[in-house]
Amino acid sequence: MRRVTIYLPEDVYAEVEAAKKWGWNSRSEMLRELVASCLSEWRKGAQRRRLAIGYQEMGELNCQLAEEAMIQDSCTLDEYEEYIAGKY
């Protein structure tokens, strides 16, 4: 384990000092758990942001592919309806 020194605003420090009331055995234990939790949430958010950017970047291509598929589907549907009607 590594030792780290941080500076906290007075109001945050007062909350850290109350750590024993919240069930932690020490300030260090509380800060380790909270930092780990915060980093985990930050990583999840970073992944969501990367996914959102990817969806935005691929949006135009996805629309083009969907339009091409719809055109192909409508041609197929028209041919199928003509076949059923006996015109094919």
Q: Is 82 within 8 Å of 88 (Cβ atoms)?
A: yes
Both structure tokens of 37: 């939790």
Both structure tokens of 40: 């985990």
pTM above 0.75, yes or no: no
Band of residue 36 on the pLDDT scale cut at 50, 70, 90? very high
Q: Give percent above pLDDT 70 in the chain.
A: 94
Both structure tokens of 81: 């309806």
Q: Is 16 within 8 Å of 27 (Cβ atoms)?
A: yes
Give the residue carrying structure tokens 């006996």: 86
Q: Is 21 within 8 Å of 7 (Cβ atoms)?
A: no
22: which residues sit within 8 A by CB, 6+ positions away?
30
What count of other Cβ atoms lies within 10 Å of the Cβ of residue 69? Answer: 10
